[in-house]
Amino acid sequence: MHDNLTNLGLDALDVVNLRVGGGDDGHSAVPGTIAEQFAVLAQLQKEGLIKHLGISTVSAEQVAEAQSIAPVVCVQNFYNLARRDDDDLIGSLAAQGIAYVPYFPLGGFTPLQSGELTSVATRLGAAPMGVALAWLLHRAPNILLIPGTSSLAHLRENVTGAALSLSPEDLAELDRIGS
C-alpha cells in the first residue's frame, strides 16, 4: 500500500477494490466470508490511506457483509449482454446509490457475438461492441463502464456506444441474448 502511494505520489488512493472470488471460471463469486480482508481495507481507510472502498467478484451476501463493516461505493463483477447473473444485484445496488462496474463488458477473451447484436448494430449503423456498451448504459443508472482497448479504432467504437440511443424494440431484441 505504502509503495503504491509513494510510486503514485499520492497521500491516499481514491478507491481500492478488494477482489474476492474467482471460482472455477476465474470470474465467479466464491462463497464465504470476506470480513477479515475487508476489515483490513476499512482500517486503511480510517487511517486516511484510502478514500473509498469497493469489492470485486462477490455475491450479494458478500456485499451486505462488507457494508456491515464500512461503506461500499462500487461493486465490480463479470457482467455483459450474454453473462447476466447479477441482474438482481445491479438493481439492489442502484437503489442504494452504489456503482456497478461490469468487467469484461464486451465479453473479455471471448468477444460478444450474436445475431441479435449484429442485427441491432446494422440497423443503427453502429459497431456491435458499441451497441453492447450502449445496452449496458441503458441497463441501469448505476452502471459505470471502463472498457479496455488496445486500439484507437476500438476506442472510437466504445465512445460512439455511449451516445447511442436504443429503442424499446432494440432493448427487447438485445435482452434476448442473455435469456
**Which domain, by its residues, includes 174?**
79-179
CATH number of the domain encompassing residue 112:
3.20.20.100
Asked if residue 111 and residue 176 are part of one domain, the reply reads yes
Asked if residue 85 and residue 57 are part of one domain, the reply reads no
pLDDT in tens, 76-116: 999 999 999 999 999 999 999 999 999 988 887 667 788 89
Asked if residue 83 and residue 166 are part of one domain, the reply reads yes
pTM of the full structure: 0.89
Asked if residue 64 and residue 84 are part of one domain, the reply reads no
Q: What does each of the 179 residues of the chain score in pLDDT, given as a tens digit?
A: 888 899 999 999 999 999 998 888 888 889 999 999 999 999 999 999 999 999 999 999 999 999 999 999 999 999 999 999 999 999 999 999 999 999 988 887 667 788 899 999 999 999 898 999 999 999 999 999 887 777 887 788 778 888 899 999 999 999 999 76
For 46-51, the CB contacts below 8 A with 24+ separation are 48/11, 48/12, 49/1, 49/2, 49/5, 49/12, 49/13, 50/12, 50/13, 50/15, 50/16, 51/12, 51/13, 51/14, 51/15
Split into its structural domains, the chain has a count of 2
Asked if residue 178 and residue 97 are part of one domain, the reply reads yes
Of 15, 38, 72, the residue at which a domain comes to its end is: 72
